[in-house]
Structure 1
């Protein structure tokens, strides 16, 4: 069985504006009351995948990244590079949550890895 998509991340030039846009467009409840002002999305449904909306800058480009669940982010990035992709963001820990990383596929598409 393949690995599922585990998270979506929307990075915006103006995160507050994006929070309002997506809340109104899709009826999402977006809670950005945290130190990073990262908007945690609550769709109000058990269907779909969880996600959030953050601010571009400091190396974060505007865009959408889907995070795929993997057992080992470092090993997965090594496999990415053998297949012709490249590491964009090396694995880093989100305390108490898991490990994230981002790579570019051979066409330059950004894809995330999520390790619990």
Structure 2
């Protein structure tokens, strides 16, 4: 069985505008988390995945990232390197929220990994 896509992020120069746009357009519950400079998105659809909206990373103007759940971030990053990808952000813990990493595929797309277990 394959690994599931479990989260998405939309980013741009004006994240508040993006939150309002997607919230109004699709009826999503959009909650700003100022202490994290992040906006949580709950699609409230009963299926599909939830996500987030944030300011674009430095040097980028806008984009999308999806996150795939895996059991071991380091193991998958090693596999990614072996098949032609590149680690962009090493395993990073946000206590009591998530452990994640980012990699770049051979064509330059940035994709996220999320650990199955939540960090303490």
* Aligned counterparts of 1:77 and 1:32: Cα–Cα separation in 2: 31
SS of residue paired to 2:57: coil
Q: TM-score, normalised by structure 2?
A: 0.88
Cα distance change of structure 1 residues 22 and 81 upon mapping to structure 2, 3 Å threshold: same
* Aligned counterparts of 2:110 and 2:57: Cα–Cα separation in 1: 16
Q: Does 1:71 align with 2:46?
A: no
SS of residue paired to 1:45: coil
Q: Does 1:102 align with 2:106?
A: no
What are structure 2's unaligned runs of at least 5 residues? Answer: none
- Contact 1:77–1:87 (CA<8 Å) still a contact in 2? yes
What's 1:50 paired with? 50
How many pairs align?
A: 116
* Aligned counterparts of 1:74 and 1:66: Cα–Cα separation in 2: 18
RMSD: 1.6
Q: TM-score, normalised by structure 1?
A: 0.91
Offset from partner CA, 1:23-54 (integer Å, 9 cap, x none):
12111110004412311112122110111111
What are structure 1's unaligned runs of at least 5 residues? Answer: none
* Aligned counterparts of 1:29 and 1:5: Cα–Cα separation in 2: 20
* Aligned counterparts of 2:60 and 2:76: Cα–Cα separation in 1: 21
Cα distance change of structure 1 residues 60 and 96 upon mapping to structure 2, 3 Å threshold: farther
